[in-house]
Amino acid sequence: MTMCGIAGLIHRDGATGVGKEMTAMLKSLKHRGPDSTGFAVYGTSTANEYVMRLKLAEQEDLTKDHRIREKIRQRRAEVDNRLAELGAETIEAEEPTPYAFRYRLRYSGDTRRLATEIEQIEGAEVLSFGSALELIKDLGDATRVSEQYGLGSFRGTHGIGHTRMATESDVDIRSAHPYWAYPYDDIAVVHNGQITNYWIMRREMERLGHRFMSNCDSELLAVYTANNLEQGATLEDSLKSSIKDIDGVFTYLVATDSELGMAKDTMAAKPMVLFESDELVALASEEVAIRAIVPREIDTSDPYDEEVRVWQR
């Protein structure tokens, strides 16, 4: 049985239509995960300007709770007030769906405090916060999510994405990938596999003060990455450490504002195909996803067990 599809790409020669490319890759992996689709895409950054993506309800709440729209309106007002209190200037605010919001902010304060304060609001979950990162995830296939959130027009240098088959956690936005590595700007993770020491590692991370928003084992990889980088590790250091610290079968991708990284576990049971040229690096669970954006004869390779790779934009 197939289970989940992951994909990533990074352009070494400048910004392109990365939203359209990631959509094409994930459309070709739809058969690996019909429950939800997610994208973490990276554009250009400006000093002291950030994009915050958040949700104020789950999609299913719109049909389950007849008062939810009024609750969302009240939560949105609280978000606006809290941002103003923290000294964050809202440059732009968008509402792609009735429950998900995009804020472009000018802010020179403590970004961790800002994200934490917003999440004190009932029903609020910050999906991503960063100067380059925008994280979009929702129920449905790549075509639906991409059109809903206007990803076709997004220009950037790199991105990662995920099509999910729910096996051990709920079908909702909270359990969908990618996961933002709170509280770090611009770090996101997608994963295919199963982590068998999830609860042990989760309790350890929680003791260190990290927060979890779901019961999905894949979120651990984002929190684990955030913890390592907080301790001064490089992305490559963190990926190498994960192979010995994390038990189970896993292949995962991590993106930062300037890097794309990959790690496979000791058994290398979860597939990954790699294409690399002077201008582009593309990875996916199946070669068909790479051919969706490189429509010519290409040579690909399969990363081996315990392999760690990091590419720069």
Catalytic residues: 4
- Asked whether the beta carbons of 4 and 162 are under 8 A apart, the reply is yes
Closest CA to 6 of 260, 212, 297, 223: 260
Determine phi and psi for 263, rounding to 5 degrees.
-145, 140
Determine phi and psi for 150, rounding to 5 degrees.
65, 35
Task: Tell me how far apart the alpha carbons of residues 301 and 225 are, in angstroms, rounded to a whole number.
Answer: 26
- Residues forming a β-bridge with 36: 139, 164
Which residue has 């689709």 as its token pair? 37
Indicate the SS3 state at residue 106.
strand
Task: Dump the DSSP string for 228-259.
Answer: HHHTT--HHHHHHHHHHH--EEEEEEEE-SSE
Task: Tell me how far apart the alpha carbons of residues 135 and 179 are, in angstroms, rounded to a whole number.
Answer: 8
198-207 helix and 219-230 helix, angle to the nearest 10 degrees: 40
Exposed / middle / buried, residue 295 (Cβ in 10 Å: 0-12, 13-18, 19+): exposed
Task: Dump the DSSP string for 208-229.
Answer: TT-----S-TTHHHHHHHHHHH
Task: Dump the DSSP string for 256-268.
Answer: -SSEEEEEE-SS-
Task: Dump the DSSP string for 183-201.
Answer: TSTT-EEEEEEEETTHHHH
